[in-house]
Structure 1
Amino acid sequence: MKKDQMPSGRRMVLRIAAALGATTTIGLFSLDRAVAPGTTNAAPPARPSPPRAPRPAAPAAGPGAGAAGRPMAPSSYRLQPMTSYAPPRFRRALPPVRQRPFLRVSGTGNTMVLSFDDGPDPRYTPAILATLRAYGVRAMFFVCGEMAVHHPDMLREMADDGHVVGNHSWSHPLIPKLPPSRIRAELGSTSDVIERTLGSAPLWYRAPYGAWNRLSFEIGAELGMEPLAWTVDTLDWQEPGTATIVDRVLTGAGPGVVVLSHDAGGDRSQTVRALRTYLPRLIDEGYHLTVPRR
């Protein structure tokens, strides 16, 4: 998708309708005053990027195309949530436009949501899918376009198992640092990959690092998506150990909680092992692990 390309024709009509229709079914989630949980107004200190396996570059045209048709190459990113800040100026967008993301489930008893960012990754995503399938649990997968375009079969497996496939941008950039055309390319290119693979565009998106701004909310609304953050951050990107991840999930568990984990972006073997441990415990404690419906 070229950087100034906008959805057109029938696709734009459908996505506008999806955005307008979101208010009738969005009651599953609640908003919080914070833009993203666990963040501050200052950016965190720089950290070395986690090691990532080499992956093929994005196609020269189509999804992920940047300026002058150049592809958005795979990036090396930090998986640390950051705060957001709105630019001083922004254009008008189509309603409804959120001013902050949904952070938790509301009014649904012991319902919880498990979410996984940055994939799909053939080293870890299949094991996560197998564990969820073994317990009959559905989850949300916020995929990066640069990964999804090379692993369409895993996207189809997610959808076939009843999981929600969401948009996590193309190359995992810091969204508030980008101009509107680049934000549109990052989100629009990823939505296009998901739509071509699954037959329908994503209805949810999550900003990389949890860094939202007004433009991202507006462009997300134009694409027919709602913003979802999280309640509990496992910090699994730090590779703190399987037991620590398990403890963070079980300690933070509660009605309405949305759990953030990752299935790509580094060594996620601890995440895989932790899921196998805490998932049956959550079920035994009476939690219903499910996904939103729109």
Structure 2
Amino acid sequence: MQNDQFFTRRRMLLAGGAALGAAATAGAVLASSAEDAVRTTAAPAAGAQARPALGPSAFRLQPLTGDGPPRAAPRKLQVREEPILQISGRGRRMVLTFDDGPHPDYTPHILDTLAKYDVRAMFFVCGECVVANKELLARMADAGHVVGNHTWTHPQLTMLRRSEIRAEMESTSDIIEDAYGERPQWFRAPYGAWNRAAFQLGAEMGMEPLAWTVDTTDWEEPGTRTIVDRVENGAAPGVVVLSHDAGGDRSQTVRAIREWLPYLIDSGYHLTVPRRRV
């Protein structure tokens, strides 16, 4: 009975996120590299099991920099009404993204594979996972990967008060800056469950909302071959691929990327990341 309740809650969360994503429509364009742009549209929901949100008082971490200089104020952005979904521009360009980490058992292997093929990717990290794995964010920075904000505890934002959403996002941006060296410029809502508050707060904190085009659904652990097929069959210019490096057993994801990444490169795709704003 307990398992039935668990899976029912999971389906309800995913269904709610999907309904929110389906309500979005195509919109504006944002520069992502010297030759690329990013297009907005709807995104389906995905992700690992929800983790309960903490009380607002529990989010604030003690400063790690002590007597260091004060944090720079983030650049405020225009508030979007739907998340960015895909890149557009010349050539066969794609973006690889990984959610929910970092995780000491899976993220290093993914970073190893990306390094082997000299590919940069985006990692949307959860603050609670960064606490014990700051060295992995330092490694991401050294390799030129982009780190984005995926909240502190991976809650469904549409079920939180605005103050709770702010706490989730701010605390995660703080620890990313401490571990990565820069505040994040990209944000992704857990489960693809966006709301007005998330768009507004993200813009206030200088973060653009990024969704995805191809969902590997690796969080379902469907098998390595299925994950590989979903990426290879979904490959197309402008695609943003969603995978996960934490939130469950990601050994299938680790094995799958070793197959589909060289396939994409051999097929003429250039795996890129959005341009960082100055």
**TM-score, normalization: structure 2?**
0.78
Q: Percent identity?
A: 61
Query: How far apart in 2 are the matches of 1:174 and 1:65?
Result: 12
1:70-109 aligned within 5 A: 70-71=58-59, 95-109=77-91
Pairing partner for 1:66 from 55, 60, 71: 55
Question: What are the Cα deviations for residues 95-137 of structure 1, in whole angstroms up to 9, with x where unaligned?
Answer: 5101111100111320001100000000000000000000000
Instruction: Return structure 1 stretches of 4+ with deviation > 4 angstroms.
Output: 22-27, 47-50
CA-CA distance at 1:196 after TM superposition: 1.4
SS at 1:291 equivalent: coil
5 Å-filtered alignment, 1:149-164, equals: 149-164=131-146
Task: Confirm or deny: 8 A CA contact 2:31 2:275 kept in the other structure.
Answer: no
In the TM superposition, residue 176 of structure 1 has moved relative to its aligned partner by 0.9
* Counterpart residue number, 1:178: 160
TM-fit CA distance, 1:23: 6.0
Amino acid at match of 2:141: A
Q: Where does 1:1-294 land on structure 2 (aligned, <5 Å)?
A: 28-32=37-41, 34=42, 36=43, 38=44, 49=49, 66-67=55-56, 69-71=57-59, 95-294=77-276
Unaligned runs of 5+ in 1: 1-21, 53-63, 73-93
* Preserved CA contact (<8 Å) 1:104 1:257: yes
Counterpart-to-counterpart distance in 1, 2:115 and 2:207: 26
1:150 Cα deviation from its structure 2 partner: 1.4
SS of the equivalent of 1:70 reads helix
Distance apart, 1:28 and its partner CA: 1.8
- What count of residue pairs does the alignment treat as equivalent? 230
Answer with 124-133 or 193-202: which moved more: 193-202
Distance 1:109 1:193, change over 3 A: same
**In structure 2, how many angstroms separate the alpha carbons of the residues matched to 1:48 and 1:275?**
19
| Superposed displacement of residue 71, structure 1 | 4.9
Under a length normalisation based on structure 1, what TM-score does the superposition of the two structures give?
A: 0.74
| Distance in 1 (alpha carbons) for counterparts of 2:31 and 2:231 | 31
RMSD: 2.4
Instruction: Show structure 2 runs of 5+ residues with no match.
Output: 1-28, 61-75
2:17 corresponding residue in structure 1: none
Counterpart CA distance in 2 for 1:251 and 1:187 is: 34
Q: Could you tell me how far apart the structure 1 residues matched to 2:221 and 2:194 are? A: 25
Distance 1:25 1:291 in 2: 7
Taking a change above 3 Å as real, the CA distance of residues 207 and 189 of structure 1, as seen in their structure-2 partners, is same
1:113 counterpart letter in structure 2: V
